[in-house]
């Protein structure tokens, strides 16, 4: 506990306000002892004078020193504010714990009353009670106390409800401990901390509120004076001596804010701690990325001529600043996509496959950082920034995201959300664009597209929304569709429809597809070629028809083996890839898959294998590519090879 | 609202069922909200009625002073009906409310309804202007700061903005008022500091009222904007390669607004109460000055009526915002269940 308080005091705001609160409290004690006389002295020679050497803040209508009056007023102002706070806390405690003390039915009535009272602003309640309790300091203390009670009651109610459900409190009640005793012994100690913190905030509020009432003439009456009373007297002579109003105003402001903000910073400090580190990518990281890419060889000869490529990516890297240095979820990925080709990207979550897609689409935002030796889309260099090729990307690269439920703007109609693509990129009028949107909705088999275009996203089913998302992608004439887990959030039956739709669009216009999925089966079914990603790298790049049986990398083989099929023995537990995926924050030495790999040896654990071509158009990053795995043929389970 | 309209118009059975559920939901929402309003009104009316009876001692003697002749006090009591049984008085009070009769002032002998209707417009104008100004400042400022500080950017501007807005939001309006009077009235002598005779006399009171709420609101809108900018549909808008203006104002802003609206309601309520102090700083001829003067002169019928007016104002503000929220975002109705 003490350590947590220490942390509060260590923050600049906590320290400043904490010191101020202490200063105000000390002043409240010593000021009247030291300066009462000087504050009361009537100096008829200096009536209503401005600030001078004798009177730092000038004098009032009786020639009394305003500076010392403001200092001395600290005590009364604080006393009254604290008294009001105590009343507020006590009454709030009683009202808030009513359900516990009075039983369910009466308690509910009190709670309902509290809920109604909370709806009214505190000042209005204070005025109401000020009328009842009468004008004057006592009346105002009661009024402000009562006015702050409902919000305290609500706080206590919430806190008590949380504690009363705890086992030992229930046990105490069952054991026949009296209600008041349960409250005092078991409940109160558990809610003391938030209560004290809120009382501190409330003391600041009471101080300000009391100044308000005194300022209106409803609080402290002459000859007594608190800050509000001084302000009330000072505002009348603000043209003669502005300091008469400003000095008490400043005093109440500083004290009120100090209590209020100290309470707030304590609340924040004791609550969820927010670790705020400086998050920047060092220059060294930025410099090293292109340097490393120099090693990437020109592999166009293997994949086809450059003009045949829709997308050409060399040594793509994504990094984010982290508290302990940059996090690198994508660490040098190279691949290309030919016209009309369907490329699948598979891997576990955290393998960097989605970030690769977002990086290619120029959708990684700061502080994320994308570097690449080459990043070309239809011959345009995307490294020039997202704005350089806005229209090209807007019409030729379509994105389909995972969650169709959240990927549309809930406050705008579907038709408009599709149409704006054509308005911005194809120079169509709104009307033409709407017609195009309806036509595209029809193309993606949304029934009754005219009416659907006028509806909001929440009126669409999940599958229909995903089709509309694809429709949005084909508003222009895409040559590449990047689909990031397009079917994951959908029902199995709807999944197939969406995949069929993507297939149909490809067939029609020779559109290339990058399909990101954790589902090897889906990718194998739809795609021509498959990239397998692990820990931010491509570990295998192979034709889809080689997936079953031809895969070289132990990870790919484990992924394929983990898919249950008709021959899977359902009596056996379903296979999983053993071990845990690598986190992007981990420091990786050697092959990232080595800790989970049955074939791993010391060489694997020290030297990272490069992605290198083997046979049948396969590229693989493994020192032991294609070696027998010790895979249990029956269950598909990996057998631990190095059980040493 | 268009949402319901279009689904009601549709004929297919599935959509028809949805609209049935929707309209059912609307009815339930309406009943529940109306019920809560009536309940609060009943409590408010009863409290304002009881106020005069909760005061220790004889309110009439208190108002007229210890030197007033007993006969006069007794006659006043009789005229006010204070000698009737409590429930009869309550009945008469309710009757009076429904016929617009709020009683007679003890000091000026004028009908309270006249006093209120004469003073109300000035207060209402002040409150509405204050509200409009604070929203007009808070929305663009909050959105701008949200864009600048999205995804953990601009930490320095975020810190500066948050600190400033927390401090400004904590300073009570009457102290801001005093500060404004000193700076713009006394020192610079740019603007009048009392009354509402000229248009420029509105500037300082409205500012005093609006600065605090504007600070709080802009902070909330910034947080909302930062959250909305993380949403999937904003990524979709970026994937459509829309210009930034269209992403921020067309897509993000409407979604950030609905969430900030709830707080607007609460602020509108506290703004209504805030006029009391601000009116007294700027000698504004509204209800706020009247209620303070009436409390000091123990003119209880006037106090009762004005407390009632403020209370009704607060309740109506809350209800209007709840309904507006339900219209803008139908999901908020379900959340209440």
pLDDT tens digits for A49-76?
777 777 777 777 777 888 888 888 888 9
Residue A278 has pLDDT above 50, yes or no: no
Residue A615 has pLDDT above 70, yes or no: yes
Question: In chain B, what is the straight-line distance between the N-terminal and C-terminal CA atoms, in Å?
Answer: 20
Rg (C-alpha) for chain B, rounded Å, is 25
Residue A226 has pLDDT above 90, yes or no: no
Instruction: With respect to residue A136, please indicate whether it lies within any of the assigned structural domains.
Output: yes
Of all residues in chain B, the one with the smallest CA distance to A243 is: B182
B residues 177-236 closer than 8 Å to A (CB): 178-179, 181-182, 185-187, 231-233, 235-236
3-state secondary structure A16-35: HHHHHHHHHHHHHHHHHHHH
Whether the Cβ atoms of residue A381 and residue A331 lie closer than 8 Å to each other: no
Instruction: With respect to residue A355, please indicate whether it lies within any of the assigned structural domains.
Output: yes
Output the pLDDT for position B119: 92
Identify the domain containing residue A526 by its residue range. 300-409+460-643
CA separation for the pair A106, A395 (Å, rounded): 66
The 3-state DSSP class for residue A586 equals coil
Which of B43, B239, B307 minimises the CB distance to A116? B43
Instruction: With respect to residue A131, please indicate whether it lies within any of the assigned structural domains.
Output: yes
What is the secondary structure of A246-303 as a DSSP string? HHHHHHHHHHHHHHHHHHHHHHHHHSS----------HHHHHHHHHHHTT----HHHH
A588 and A631 inside one domain = yes
Instruction: With respect to residue A445, please indicate whether it lies within any of the assigned structural domains.
Output: no
| Sign of the alpha-carbon dihedral angle for B329, B330, B331, B336 | positive
Question: In chain A, what is the straight-line distance between the N-terminal and C-terminal CA atoms, in Å?
Answer: 47
CATH number, domain of A585, equals 3.40.50.300
Question: Per-residue pLDDT averaged across A336-342, rounded?
Answer: 90
A residues 370-429 closer than 8 Å to B (CB): 386, 390-391, 393-394, 399, 401, 403, 406-412, 420-421, 424-425
User: Which residues, listed in sequence order, are joined to residue A534 by a DSSP beta bridge?
Assistant: A537
Whether the Cβ atoms of residue A555 and residue A534 lie closer than 8 Å to each other: yes
- Tell me which chain A residues have a C-beta less than 8 angstroms from the C-beta of B280: 215-216
Q: Name the range with the highest mean pLDDT among A167-181, A370-384, B315-329.
A: A370-384
A268 and A305 inside one domain = no
A252 and A369 inside one domain = no
Determine whether the interchain pair B232/A401 forms a contact, defined as Cβ–Cβ distance below 8 Å. Answer: yes
Determine whether the interchain pair B269/A120 forms a contact, defined as Cβ–Cβ distance below 8 Å. Answer: yes
The C-alpha torsion from A574 through A577 and A579 to A583, rounded to 10°, is -130
In this prediction, residue A596 has a pLDDT band, given cuts at 50, 70 and 90, of: confident
A271 and A345 inside one domain = no
Tokens representing residue A488 in the block: 């994951």
Residue A24 has pLDDT above 80, yes or no: yes
A201 and A316 inside one domain = no
Whether the Cβ atoms of residue B86 and residue B94 lie closer than 8 Å to each other: no
Q: B138 — contact with chain A (CB < 8 Å)?
A: no
Of all residues in chain A, the one with the smallest CA distance to B186 is: A239
| Sign of the alpha-carbon dihedral angle for A216, A219, A225, A226 | negative
Distance of CA B140 to the CA centre of its chain: 21
Whether the Cβ atoms of residue A329 and residue A536 lie closer than 8 Å to each other: yes
Instruction: With respect to residue A420, please indicate whether it lies within any of the assigned structural domains.
Output: no
Output the pLDDT for position B3: 40
Output the pLDDT for position A195: 84
CA separation for the pair A252, A243 (Å, rounded): 14
Q: Would residue A312 be called left, alpha or beta, if left means φ above 0 and alpha means ψ between -120 and 50 degrees? A: beta
Sequence-distant (6+) residues with CB within 8 A of B167 are A257, A261
Looking only at the bridges linking them, the beta strands covering A342-346 and A512-517 are parallel
What is the tens place of the pLDDT at every residue in B257-292? 876 777 777 788 888 888 999 999 988 999 999 999
A313 and A256 inside one domain = no
Find tokens 């009202």 and name the residue.
Answer: A95
CATH number, domain of A138, equals 1.10.3720.10
Instruction: With respect to residue A326, please indicate whether it lies within any of the assigned structural domains.
Output: yes
- Tell me which chain B residues have a C-beta less than 8 angstroms from the C-beta of A462: none
Which of B174, B233, B280 minimises the CB distance to A406? B233
Stretch (H or E) spanning A606 = helix A602-606
Mean residue pLDDT of chain A comes to 80
| Sign of the alpha-carbon dihedral angle for A109, A113, A114, A115 | positive
Most B CBs within 10 A among A11, A17, A108, A116, hence the mutation to make, goes to A116
Output the pLDDT for position A3: 67
Higher-confidence position of B189 and A302: B189
Output the pLDDT for position A343: 92
Output the pLDDT for position A501: 87
**CA of A555, closest CA in chain B: separation in Å?**
31
CA separation for the pair A265, A267 (Å, rounded): 5
Output the pLDDT for position B117: 92
A260 and A313 inside one domain = no
Instruction: With respect to residue A559, please indicate whether it lies within any of the assigned structural domains.
Output: yes
CA separation for the pair B202, B193 (Å, rounded): 9
Output the pLDDT for position A299: 40
Last residue of a domain, one of A247, A281, A315: A281
Output the pLDDT for position A487: 83
Stretch (H or E) spanning A614 = none
A residues 181-200 closer than 8 Å to B (CB): none
- Tell me which chain A residues have a C-beta less than 8 angstroms from the C-beta of B311: 120, 124
- Tell me which chain B residues have a C-beta less than 8 angstroms from the C-beta of A116: 39-40, 43
A112 and A16 inside one domain = yes
Residue A337 has pLDDT above 70, yes or no: yes
Tokens representing residue A427 in the block: 């120079």
CA separation for the pair A378, A390 (Å, rounded): 13
List the one residue out of A265, A496, A559, A484 whose CA is nearest residue B236: A484
CA separation for the pair A29, A35 (Å, rounded): 11
- Tell me which chain B residues have a C-beta less than 8 angstroms from the C-beta of A13: 163
What is the tens place of the pLDDT at every residue in A32-46? 888 887 777 777 777
Output the pLDDT for position A565: 65
Question: Per-residue pLDDT averaged across A519-544, rounded?
Answer: 89
Higher-confidence position of A373 and A241: A373
Lowest mean pLDDT among A154-168, A310-324, A496-510, B152-166: A154-168
- Under DSSP, the state recorded for A325 is S
Q: How many domains does chain A have?
A: 2
A488 and A566 inside one domain = yes
Output the pLDDT for position A13: 78
Last residue of a domain, one of A223, A249, A281: A281
CA separation for the pair A302, A309 (Å, rounded): 12
List the one residue out of B228, B224, B227, B233 whose CA is nearest residue B260: B224
- Under DSSP, the state recorded for B65 is -
Instruction: With respect to residue A449, please indicate whether it lies within any of the assigned structural domains.
Output: no
CA separation for the pair A433, A443 (Å, rounded): 15
Last residue of a domain, one of A224, A254, A281: A281
A328 and A214 inside one domain = no
Higher-confidence position of A218 and B337: A218
A245 and A380 inside one domain = no
In this prediction, residue A349 has a pLDDT band, given cuts at 50, 70 and 90, of: confident
Q: Would residue A72 be called left, alpha or beta, if left means φ above 0 and alpha means ψ between -120 and 50 degrees? A: alpha
Most B CBs within 10 A among A122, A215, A418, hence the mutation to make, goes to A215
Lowest mean pLDDT among A243-257, A617-631, B228-242: A617-631
3-state secondary structure B190-247: CCCCCCCCCHHHHHHHHHHHHHHHHHHHHHHHHHHHHHHHCCHHHHHHHHCCCCHHHH
Looking only at the bridges linking them, the beta strands covering A480-484 and A512-517 are parallel
CA separation for the pair A2, A17 (Å, rounded): 18
Tens of pLDDT along chain B (337 residues)?
Answer: 334 334 333 334 444 444 455 567 778 888 888 888 898 899 999 998 988 888 877 788 877 778 888 888 888 888 777 888 888 888 988 988 888 888 888 888 889 999 999 999 999 999 999 999 998 999 899 989 988 888 777 788 888 888 888 888 888 888 899 899 888 888 888 888 787 778 888 899 999 999 999 998 898 888 888 888 888 888 888 888 888 888 888 888 888 887 677 777 778 888 888 899 999 998 899 999 999 999 988 888 899 999 999 999 888 888 887 787 777 665 555 444 4
- Tell me which chain B residues have a C-beta less than 8 angstroms from the C-beta of A231: 178
A194 and A277 inside one domain = yes
Cis-peptide into A223, omega within 30 deg: yes
**Burial (CB count within 10 angstroms: exposed 0-12, middle 13-18, buried 19+), residue A631:** middle
Determine whether the interchain pair A116/B174 forms a contact, defined as Cβ–Cβ distance below 8 Å. Answer: no
- Tell me which chain B residues have a C-beta less than 8 angstroms from the C-beta of A456: 3
Whether the Cβ atoms of residue A330 and residue A355 lie closer than 8 Å to each other: yes
């Amino acid at each position: 506990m003490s350590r947590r308080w220490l942390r509060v005091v260590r923050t600049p705001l906590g320290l400043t306000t904490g010191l101020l609160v202490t200063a105000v409290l000390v002043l409240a004690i010593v000021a009247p002892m030291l300066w009462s006389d000087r504050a009361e002295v009537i100096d008829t020679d200096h009536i209503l004078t401005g600030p001078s050497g004798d009177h730092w803040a000038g004098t009032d209508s009786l020639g009394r020193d305003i500076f010392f009056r403001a200092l001395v007023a600290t005590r009364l102002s604080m006393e009254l504010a604290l008294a009001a706070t105590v009343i507020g806390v006590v009454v709030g405690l009683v009202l808030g714990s009513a359900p516990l003390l009075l039983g369910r039915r009466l308690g509910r009535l009190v709670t309902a009353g509290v809920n109604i009272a909370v709806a009214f602003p505190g000042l209005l309640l204070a005025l109401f009670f000020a009328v009842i309790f009468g004008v004057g300091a006592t009346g105002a203390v009661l009024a402000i106390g009562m006015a702050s009670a409902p919000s305290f009651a609500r706080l206590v109610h919430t806190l008590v409800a949380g504690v009363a459900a705890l086992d030992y409190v229930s046990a105490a009640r069952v054991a026949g401990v009296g209600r008041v005793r349960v409250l005092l012994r078991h409940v109160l100690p558990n809610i003391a901390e938030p209560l004290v913190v809120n009382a501190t905030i409330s003391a600041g509020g009471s101080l300000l509120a009391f100044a308000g009432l005194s300022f209106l003439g409803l609080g402290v009456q002459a000859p007594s004076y608190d800050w509000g009373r001084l302000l009330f007297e000072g505002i009348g002579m603000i043209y003669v001596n502005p300091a008469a109003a400003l000095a008490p105003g400043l005093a109440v402001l500083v004290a009120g804010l100090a209590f209020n903000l100290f309470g707030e910073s304590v609340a924040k400090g004791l609550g969820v701690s927010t670790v705020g580190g400086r998050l920047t990518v060092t220059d060294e990281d930025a410099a090293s990325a292109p340097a490393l890419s120099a090693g990437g060889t020109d592999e166009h000869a293997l994949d086809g001529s450059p003009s045949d490529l829709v997308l050409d990516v060399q040594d793509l890297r994504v990094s984010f600043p982290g508290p302990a240095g940059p996090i690198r979820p994508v660490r040098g990925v190279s691949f290309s996509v030919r016209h009309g080709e369907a490329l699948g990207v598979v891997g576990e979550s955290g393998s960097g496959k989605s970030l690769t897609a977002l990086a290619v689409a120029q959708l990684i935002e700061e502080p994320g950082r994308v570097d690449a030796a080459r990043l070309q889309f239809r011959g345009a260099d995307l490294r020039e920034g997202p704005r350089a090729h806005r229209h090209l990307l807007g019409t030729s690269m379509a994105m389909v995201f995972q969650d169709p439920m959240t990927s549309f703007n809930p406050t705008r109609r579907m038709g408009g959300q599709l149409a704006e693509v054509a308005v911005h990129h194809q120079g169509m009028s709104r009307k033409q664009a709407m017609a195009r949107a309806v036509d595209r909705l029809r193309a993606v088999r949304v029934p009754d597209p005219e009416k659907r275009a006028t509806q909001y996203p929440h009126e669409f089913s999940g599958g229909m929304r995903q089709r509309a998302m694809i429709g949005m992608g084909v508003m222009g004439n895409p040559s590449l569709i990047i689909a990031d887990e397009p079917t994951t959030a959908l029902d199995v039956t709807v999944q197939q429809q969406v995949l069929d739709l993507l297939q149909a669009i490809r067939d029609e216009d020779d559109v290339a597809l990058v399909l990101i999925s954790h589902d090897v089966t889906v990718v194998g079914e739809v795609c021509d070629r498959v990239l397998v990603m692990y820990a931010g790298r491509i570990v295998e790049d192979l034709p889809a028809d080689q997936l079953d049986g031809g895969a070289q990398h132990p990870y790919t083989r484990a992924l394929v083996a983990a898919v249950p099929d008709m021959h899977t023995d359902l009596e056996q537990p379903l296979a999983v890839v053993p071990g845990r995926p690598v986190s992007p924050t981990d420091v990786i030495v050697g092959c990232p898959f080595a800790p989970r790999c049955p074939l791993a040896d010391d060489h694997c654990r020290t030297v990272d294998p490069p992605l290198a071509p083997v046979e049948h158009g396969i590229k693989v990053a493994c020192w032991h590519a294609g070696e027998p795995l010790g895979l249990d043929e029956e269950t598909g389970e990996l057998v631990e090879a190095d059980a040493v | 609202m268009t949402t319901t309209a279009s689904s009601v118009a549709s004929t297919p059975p599935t959509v028809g069922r949805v609209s049935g559920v929707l309209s059912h939901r609307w009815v339930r929402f309406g009943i529940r909200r109306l019920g809560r309003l009536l309940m609060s009104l009943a409590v408010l009316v009863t409290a304002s009625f009881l106020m005069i009876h909760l005061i220790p001692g004889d309110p009439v003697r208190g108002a007229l002073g210890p030197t007033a002749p007993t006969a006069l006090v007794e006659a006043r009591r009789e005229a006010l009906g204070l000698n009737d049984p409590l429930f009869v008085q309550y009945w008469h009070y309710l009757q009076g409310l429904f016929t617009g009769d709020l009683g007679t002032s003890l000091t000026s002998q004028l009908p309270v309804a006249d006093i209120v209707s004469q003073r109300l417009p000035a207060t209402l104008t002040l409150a509405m202007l204050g509200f409009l100004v604070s929203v007009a400042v808070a929305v663009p400022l909050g959105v701008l700061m949200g864009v600048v500080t999205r995804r953990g950017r601009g930490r320095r501007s975020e810190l500066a903005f948050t600190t400033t807005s927390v401090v400004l939001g904590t300073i009570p309006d009457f102290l801001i008022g005093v500060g404004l009077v000193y700076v713009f009235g006394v020192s610079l002598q740019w603007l009048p500091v009392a009354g509402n005779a000229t248009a420029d006399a509105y500037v300082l009171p409205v500012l005093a009222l609006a600065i605090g709420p504007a600070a709080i609101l802009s902070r909330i809108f910034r947080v909302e904007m930062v959250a909305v900018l993380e949403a999937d549909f904003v990524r979709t808008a970026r994937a459509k390669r829309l210009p930034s203006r269209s992403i921020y104002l067309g897509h993000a802003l409407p979604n950030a607004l609905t969430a900030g609206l709830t707080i607007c309601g609460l602020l509108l309520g506290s703004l209504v109460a805030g006029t009391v102090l601000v009116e007294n700083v700027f000698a504004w001829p509204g209800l706020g000055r009247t209620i303070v003067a009436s409390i000091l002169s123990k003119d209880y019928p006037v106090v009762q009526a004005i407390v009632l007016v403020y209370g009704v104002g607060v309740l109506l503000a809350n209800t209007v915002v709840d309904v507006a929220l339900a219209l803008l975002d139908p999901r908020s109705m379900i959340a209440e269940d």
